[in-house]
């Protein structure tokens, strides 16, 4: 009886490991390292990123400024900006307070950002913001 119990426990353990490593259909495997709320500060502004199920929203002092999607592989996350409000994100530059797709953003903003897609690496409960170079911490 002891051996059957141990065998059953081993099967559950192995099944759990296999399930955790499976692809979720979006190219992601393992647990989502980006899921949750992240906080950082730059130039006196609080930046908050809320990520869940492959989507994220970025807030500047609690005002939404960016919407996007993400995928992950292990601890590496690839984020893609879908929409942005330059009036929030680039307020110091006098950005227009309206939502634009990345393709329709002014070249000035695109040059600052470099690309609509960035890779970040989660290290423990932190990552470095690829655009601003400041650290975000998971809450």
Confidence of residue 133 (pLDDT cuts 50, 70, 90): confident
Residue 35: phi, psi to the nearest 5? -60, 130
For 71, which DSSP code? E
How does 23-58 read in b/e, with b if 16+ C-beta sit within 10 Å?
A: eeeeebeeebbbbeebebeeeebebbbebeebebeb
Confidence of residue 52 (pLDDT cuts 50, 70, 90): very high
For 70-88, write each residue's pLDDT tens digit: 999 999 999 999 999 999 9
pLDDT higher for 135 or 129? 135
Q: Are 33 and 56 contacting, i.e. CB atoms less than 8 angstroms apart?
A: no
Percent share of the chain, pLDDT over 70 = 78
What is the rounded average pLDDT for all residues in the chain? 82
Assigned token pair, 104 = 């329709």
pLDDT of residue 11: 32
Rounded distance between C-alpha atoms, residue 53 and residue 133, angstroms = 25
Contacts of 27 (CB under 8 A, 6+ apart): 71, 73
* CATH code assigned to 31-138: 2.40.128
Domain coordinates in residue numbering, the chain: 1-25, 31-138
């Amino acid at each position: 009886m002891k051996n059957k119990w141990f065998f059953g426990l081993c099967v559950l353990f192995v099944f759990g490991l296999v399930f955790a490593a499976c692809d979720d259909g979006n190219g992601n495997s393992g647990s989502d390292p980006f899921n949750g709320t992240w906080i950082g500060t730059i130039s006196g502004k609080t930046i908050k990123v809320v990520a869940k199920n492959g989507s994220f929203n970025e807030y500047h002092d609690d005002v939404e400024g960016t919407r996007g999607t993400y995928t992950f592989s292990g601890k590496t996350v690839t984020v893609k900006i879908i929409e942005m409000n330059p009036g929030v994100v680039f307020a110091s530059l006098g950005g227009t307070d309206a939502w634009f797709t990345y393709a329709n953003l002014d070249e000035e903003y695109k040059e600052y950002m470099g690309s609509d897609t960035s890779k970040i690496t989660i290290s423990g409960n932190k990552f470095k913001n690829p655009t601003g170079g400041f650290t975000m911490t998971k809450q």
